[in-house]
Structure 1
Amino acid sequence: MVSLPPWPAVATLAVGVANLVLLAYIWPWRDEPGGWWFLVVIGVQVFWCGTYGVALLVFDPLVREALEILTWLPINWIGVCFLAFALEYTGRVDLLRSSAFGAAVAFEVVSTALVVTNPVHNIVWSGFELAPAFGAATVTYTHHPWVFVQFVALFAFSALGIFLLLDTVISYGPLFRKQALAIALTPVPPAAPFFIWVFKLGPVPQFNLTPLMFLPHMLLDMYALFRNDMFEFKPATRRTAERAAVDDIGTAVVITDQQGRVINLNEAAGETFGVDRPEVLAAPLGALYEGDLAVTAGEQAASLRAGGRHREFNVDITPLRDAAGTDVGYTVVFVDVTAERQRKQRLGVLNRILRHNLRNDLNVVVNYADLIETETDADIAEYAETIQRTSLDLVELGEKARRAAQALDGDQQIVEHDLAALVSDVAADVREEYPGGTVTCAVPDGVRIETDVRLFDLVVRSLLENALEHGNGDVTVAYAGTDDESVRLTVADDGPGIPDHELSVLETGEESALEHGSGLGLWLVTWGTTALGGEVDFETPADGGTTVTLTVPGLVRGSETS
């Protein structure tokens, strides 16, 4: 009579075949996020069932121990493979390339080497002997500490994978809830019998039921695949989209906790503030910039010094909430509106120039032209001189507007220059235009600066011209040291000082019919300095005179002078 093979071996091999069928079914989804790693996990289960099923049929001690070594290989690797699947399936592919995951793989390489060479050193187990049960070639041996180390590692990797999948359940709501929950539960059925086998519990401790429990494991996999489109709706898609929404947007975005500490920021924010992400994590939001910004929900305008430049921002701060609706931090979006705000100012000022200055000056020309027709020859020369002077003022105003447009609207060309040479060249030109004035330069040689020459020329020229036009004919431009990565210059005159209403307009950044400047020069200074990323400060003491402090970024380190 032909004896039937023992049922533990048949059942174990049958579970292996069922897992092999599942592997073949999953094959078309191999290129989906987590697909290859899921195939590897199922493949490891097939290998485990196959080697253990065959081992239960072999009663030769040497061959049986060799098969036991093969059975231990999936024990070593199934946990780390499941963790790799969970990382990729939930959109955390970057962690697969991390040193931590590399350490996990290295650990399993060492563990595998110890298992394969165990007959030589007996570090993993000893006392291997057959202990048949249910007609199968079950075995018993003494578990040494490394077995328990591997047990802890297997459960740790599996638990971490389960945590990642359950986090998806909690974070992403019903869209991925059922399939992620099903996959998270798959390690549970095999875990219980493996625990019993490692600690030799139960009436038949030598029989490892773990491979048989891959059947409910497989049923949970099938539920996720067939009922909930496991690879059709992928958490990785949403996580990647969320990351792309922050990382790929061209606007600076910073994520903070409720205390205003930086938790994350995108590449655009790093470029805007001139920082590297690892350096500012956990730092206060204010460490990214100089200036005042209230970290409270809502929109606000902010004038900040960021990345070594003065910038104007529209800042939108929105509460960041978890799936339960609890406030956990803020999303802070910095929209750089420096150029937009400057264009708006320029349009307003040029509108005033056309509406006010040109109209008034042309009225002078027209009125004096009328007088020429009616007055005596003796008066004509005086009237003609007034017409000429007023016309030349209009020509000069137009020339200033042209130079401003060229400097402000073009692309900046940052080149390294000697500061003293730049200032001296501008001063020489201004002296020719104002032969009755005195321009003194007190800028030492050797200080070098990386800047746009046209903008720098526009700013310094406008300051000197304004001082000579409205002062008493003497102006001094002097080096005032360095500040961080910037150079400071002062332009001082002994004139009557800039009227308060003119400075008020510059501070507010807007002109109106009642509040406006008298010309274009101070606006050119403000626009040019802002375009350079610098700052300008006006001081008008009560006893007269004006001192303008100009701070321009781009100092070449090593060229400072005391």
Structure 2
Amino acid sequence: MTPGAVGLAIVVASFAASGGALYLLQYLYRQRGKSGANWFMGNMASVAVFCLAYGVALLVFDPTVRLVLAVVAFVCVCFMGPFFLAFGLDYTGRGNLIRTPLFGIVAAVPVLSAVLAATNRVHGLIWTEFQFDPVFGLATATYTVQPWGAFAFLFSIATAGVGSLLLIGAILSYGPLYRREATAVILSTVPPSVGVSLWLFGVGPVPQLHLTAPLMLVHVALDAYAFVGTHMFETNPATQRMAEQTGLDSLSDPVFVLDTNEQVVRVNGRAEERFLSPSTSPPAPLESVLGVTLGTLRETGELTLGAERGGTFAVSFTDLTDPVGESVGSMVVLYDVTEERERGQQLGVLNRVLRHNLRNETMVISGYAELLETTVDDPTQAIQAGTIAAASDRLQSIAEKAGEFDDIRERGVQPELLPVEHVVAQVVETRSAAHDDATITYTVEPADHRIRADRRILSVLLDNLVENATIHADAAEPTVSIAVTGAAEADSETRIEIRDSNDRIPEHEIETLRAGEETSLQHGQGIGLWIAYWCTRKLRGDMRFEYDDGNVLTLTI
């Protein structure tokens, strides 16, 4: 090949590298905002301008224009390395480091180098003795690189090397998922680094020729493979890095790490064992793994799978953001609630069946017992029949209360601003009608006090407490008083005190409520206190028991 042909090939390669970098820049523009994309756009812009400036410079023999083009090329090389380092930090989930004072020093080096290069004619800190030294028919030049100029070049190479080490770390940490992309980008830094080093140290038969520009063609080709061929920014290590910081591997439930495109990019051991088939490996769309989209999971909050893979799962979501608050994906955790749901269904069926049968059968028992009580001649048998009827009525009351609470339990809380006096007055009226031998009184201070609560739940709560006080009274004429106090402002705390003149409620019944469960050795005599306790919990209130010449039950809501 003739010298002229060699020179032409070098210029064409430089222009081709610039064109390729501009194409990548245009492609990356569509990925802007994703982890690392903006910084790599800066790197590609530096490459494009450098290759264009140097390619034109090889054709220009005007000293002033040639020197200006040399300054532009020098500045672009200075910025390539820091831009690549910023890309590596952001892409691997360490973008917060870019905003630290240390990185500010890194960024200051190319900025200062650009200023010094533009004013080099004054101080000569970058190079001296600039002169033409043509080779292959090109306008190549030689000059003596001064310490700051050498430092700026080496600094750019070093920062690019650190960026490459970050990508190597991603390969080692996250296996094959990012291997192809990261390897291509790492290798892409080798040709320009070699070109700069050869030129800086004057190695080779034509040291005046800066081979970095034509070697950039290989750099751009490798980057094109990484970004266009493998869609590098569709997934990135930042997603997995953020997932690790949330304790991914410490969770025993199935965990799926998703990127911003709803692709599963990582799973923990439990998820792999239960949900991934041998033919399915990350990255894979969530729908292909679980059979539903992320939107459906968010909407339902639950996942039900066939018997082959197993049951019902409650779904928890954690948004993953990088250190600067940018979204890099999400983490989905599945909690197996199959047994709980099945147990709930079984208890629901048993509850309905028992309530239905209990109500029907006790009505029969009660009817015949009352008939016997009025028709038998033997007084002892009449008393026994009355006892049976009373027991049957109590069972029927329990069945009705269980049904009442079941309705309350399934009911969503519907808070509204209620005048407390109206609610209390209705309860007193109902209980007084049911127990005409009882004296039930109430006071509300202030009289216009309002409470934000669910009317039905509050009414059931007070009704059960007042009924409990009347039916368990030993006196022939039981007395119950209700005192409501609260602040004048709406939504303030409400205190409801219910007093009776009965014997002390057995401590074991109170302990049963506090324990939250009944046992064979410790159980209440009825369901009224339990319903009151559950209603209080549903209203997010508090219940306290005291004794002062009668039971004093205080509700704070």
Query: Residue type of the partner of 2:534?
Result: W
Aligned to 2:411: 410
Cα 1:386–1:126, aligned 2, differ >3 Å: closer, same or farther? closer
Cα 1:529–1:83, aligned 2, differ >3 Å: closer, same or farther? farther
> 1:177: how far off?
2.2
> 1:474: how far off?
3.0
Q: Distance in 2 between matches of 1:26 and 1:455?
A: 64
CA contact (8 A) 2:446 2:486 kept: no
CA contact (8 A) 1:437 1:468 kept: no
Query: Residue type of the partner of 2:132?
Result: P
Cα 1:315–1:413, aligned 2, differ >3 Å: closer, same or farther? closer
Aligned to 2:463: 461
Aligned to 2:140: 137
**1:525 lines up with 2:532 in the alignment:** yes
Higher mean C-alpha deviation, range 164-173 or range 383-392: 383-392
Give a deviation string over 1:491-524, Cα, whole Å, max 9, x none: 4544334445645654565568887644332232
Aligned to 1:474: 480
Q: Distance in 2 between matches of 1:362 and 1:515?
A: 31
CA contact (8 A) 2:416 2:454 kept: yes
Query: Residue type of the partner of 1:412?
Result: V
Query: Residue type of the partner of 2:465?
Result: L
> 1:155: how far off?
4.8
CA contact (8 A) 1:358 1:394 kept: no
Cα 1:201–1:139, aligned 2, differ >3 Å: closer, same or farther? closer
Q: Look up the SS of the partner of 1:455 in the other structure.
A: helix
Q: Distance in 2 between matches of 1:50 and 1:497?
A: 95
> 1:171: how far off?
2.6
Cα 1:29–1:332, aligned 2, differ >3 Å: closer, same or farther? closer
Q: Distance in 2 between matches of 1:445 and 1:163?
A: 74
> 1:202: how far off?
6.5
Give a deviation string over 1:48-98, Cα, whole Å, max 9, x none: 2221132133232211122124324533653465467657866x6x969x9
Aligned to 1:230: 230
Aligned to 1:78: 80
Aligned to 2:175: 173
Cα 1:172–1:475, aligned 2, differ >3 Å: closer, same or farther? same
CA contact (8 A) 1:13 1:50 kept: no
Aligned to 1:451: 453
Give a deviation string over 1:335-368, Cα, whole Å, max 9, x none: 999x979998777777665666875575343223
Cα 1:54–1:142, aligned 2, differ >3 Å: closer, same or farther? same
Q: How does 1:156-555 map to 2 (within 5 A)?
A: 156=159, 158=160, 161-191=163-193, 193-194=195-196, 208-214=210-216, 217-218=219-220, 220-221=222-223, 230-231=230-231, 234=232, 236-237=234-235, 255=247, 359=361, 362-375=364-377, 400-401=401-402, 403-417=404-418, 421=421, 424-425=424-425, 428-429=428-429, 432-433=432-433, 434=435, 436-441=438-443, 449-471=451-473, 472-477=478-483, 489-499=496-506, 502-503=509-510, 506=513, 509=516, 517-536=524-543, 539=545, 546-552=551-557
> 1:184: how far off?
2.4
Q: Look up the SS of the partner of 2:413 in the other structure.
A: coil
Q: Distance in 2 between matches of 1:241 and 1:511?
A: 48
Q: Distance in 2 between matches of 1:351 and 1:505?
A: 26
Q: Distance in 1 between matches of 2:523 and 2:215?
A: 83
Structure 2: give runs of 5+ residues left out of the alignment.
251-256, 259-312, 317-331
Q: Distance in 2 between matches of 1:166 and 1:315?
A: 37
Q: TM-score, normalization: structure 2? A: 0.59
Cα 1:201–1:521, aligned 2, differ >3 Å: closer, same or farther? farther
CA contact (8 A) 1:9 1:57 kept: no
Query: Residue type of the partner of 1:14?
Result: A
Give a deviation string over 1:349-397, Cα, whole Å, max 9, x none: 7766566687557534322313434449x99999999899788767866
Cα 1:501–1:80, aligned 2, differ >3 Å: closer, same or farther? same
Query: Residue type of the partner of 1:466?
Result: N
Residue number among 56, 59, 71 corresponding to 1:57 in the alignment: 59
Aligned to 1:303: none
Q: Look up the SS of the partner of 2:453 in the other structure.
A: strand
Query: Residue type of the partner of 1:137?
Result: T
Q: Distance in 2 between matches of 1:394 and 1:499?
A: 21
Cα 1:87–1:344, aligned 2, differ >3 Å: closer, same or farther? farther
CA contact (8 A) 1:345 1:509 kept: no
Aligned to 1:111: 111
Q: TM-score, normalization: structure 1? A: 0.58
Higher mean C-alpha deviation, range 389-398 or range 453-462: 389-398
Q: Distance in 1 between matches of 2:539 and 2:124?
A: 69
Cα 1:65–1:121, aligned 2, differ >3 Å: closer, same or farther? closer
Aligned to 1:281: none
CA contact (8 A) 1:365 1:391 kept: no
Q: Distance in 2 between matches of 1:126 and 1:205?
A: 18
Q: Distance in 2 between matches of 1:547 and 1:477?
A: 11
> 1:169: how far off?
0.7
Structure 1: give runs of 5+ residues left out of the alignment.
248-252, 259-264, 267-313, 318-330, 553-562
> 1:46: how far off?
4.0
Q: Distance in 1 between matches of 2:12 and 2:127?
A: 27
CA contact (8 A) 2:543 2:554 kept: yes
Pairwise CA RMSD of aligned residues?
6.1
Cα 1:445–1:364, aligned 2, differ >3 Å: closer, same or farther? closer
Aligned to 2:282: none
Identity %: 25
Number of equivalenced pairs: 462
Q: Distance in 2 between matches of 1:11 and 1:368?
A: 114
Query: Residue type of the partner of 1:118?
Result: A
Higher mean C-alpha deviation, range 364-373 or range 497-506: 497-506
Query: Residue type of the partner of 2:456?
Result: R
Q: Distance in 1 between matches of 2:496 and 2:240?
A: 46
Q: Look up the SS of the partner of 1:454 in the other structure.
A: helix
